[in-house]
A = this chain, B = another copy of it.
């Protein structure tokens, strides 16, 4: 006795969409057994219907809006990319009570709130495990497994392109530009790599993670962001000499201001990470997320953060959940936004700095430089000086201080006569001092 099928619309037939369609088709019996009813693909929306797309051609349509509205579509999978088009389609689906699974981090980082409101109103589900860290279950653990805990920090490597580049620079000693070019040749970087290398992709994911972890709506605009395009081979060498490597981190953190207010922070930047930290060992295109919660302690999740199959795995897990809810009645976990915590500006965040500068090689330089730190109550942890060309290279690593005090110190250093140039400024993460 077979139950009435549930209809699925797939929007997009790129890397992820093709894998979603392939797995849904090949493992149809498993999906039916797991959901309780068969999942039937009603249509696949593509930009242009042409050539052999490797799927049943009769399913293809270039009219996603009509597909989404079809009476016999119960579930919509959105893997189009972009913002405006998928946004309208997802709204339209949710308003009609169809549940939606999306991998679209950029969309969610801007419009998760409105989309969740629409889902709430029509009692539909909105799932998006695939939007952060591909196949790695992070959204669901944060939203459900840790629902009874208090998350203090989420820190992760959530962009494979930049991690590939930084790992390769660390391995080969090569510089940024040539490594980016190599990443492009190998298919790890897109033709326009801006979203990845400037940290926009990671910032979208940070917004999503912070929203869930802190029960507060956080959008991409709330996330402080720096990319990796200024990292040099020399930075990685210096990092190595400090027993560190450099990673682009997405960090979501609960902090208490000096006045005792509870705030949150969401930020993305390349940072020095000690080599014995679990995130330092995450290489190539892999992703990892570390979660620190009050009762659970430190948890780490590791796996493939991108790619057609891994992302399809996350999409399909959500699809089974959404379909089960349709079949048995019931809903997935709702948005939790009650805490309404304020986002602290980057200047208020306690961080540590690594500053590498070219200085004149004469007596008193170190004293002059050190004075700029102490003026702003910034305590120095490590100093290294070595002869370099015309003058000397001075590397200072600080203890924790307010980011504003640290950045003001750097501005002051740049104005000093004895400092020829500040070659590099990076934050240091993954330590407790």
| B-contacting residues, A119-139, CB 8 Å | 129, 135-137
Tell me which of B137, B314, B316 contacts A137 (CB under 8 A). B137
With a CB–CB cut-off of 8 A, which chain B residues contact A129? 145
Q: Which residues of B contact A30 (CB under 8 A)?
A: 150
Within 8 A of B (CB), among A1-51: 19, 23, 27, 30-31, 33-34
Identical chains in the assembly? 2
Q: Does A347 contact B (CB under 8 A)?
A: no
Residue in chain B with minimal CB distance to A332: B330
Q: Which residues of B contact A317 (CB under 8 A)?
A: 144-149
CB within 8 A of A135: which of B297, B314, B336?
A: B297
A417 to chain B, nearest CB (A): 49
Q: How large is the interface on A (under 10, 10 to 19, 20 to 34, 35 or more residues)?
A: 35 or more
CA distance A3 to B27 in the complex (A): 43
Query: Chain A 331-366 against B: per-residue CB contact (8 Å), 1 yes, 0 no?
Result: 101101011000000000000000000000000000
Give the docked Cα–Cα distance between A330 and B325 (Å). 8
CA–CA, A137 and B296, complex, Å? 10
Q: Of residues 298 to 328 in A, which have CB atoms within 8 Å of B's CB atoms?
A: 298-304, 309-310, 312-321, 324-325, 328
Contacting pair B300 A313 (CB below 8 A):
no
The one of B144, B145, B293, B336 in contact with A33, judged by C-beta atoms closer than 8 angstroms, is: B336
| Contacting pair A296 B148 (CB below 8 A) | no
- 23 A–B contacts, CB within 8 A, in A order: A27-B150, A34-B338, A135-B293, A135-B295, A135-B297, A137-B140, A137-B299, A146-B313, A147-B317, A147-B321, A148-B312, A149-B313, A296-B309, A296-B314, A297-B304, A297-B309, A297-B310, A299-B302, A301-B301, A321-B333, A324-B334, A328-B330, A330-B331
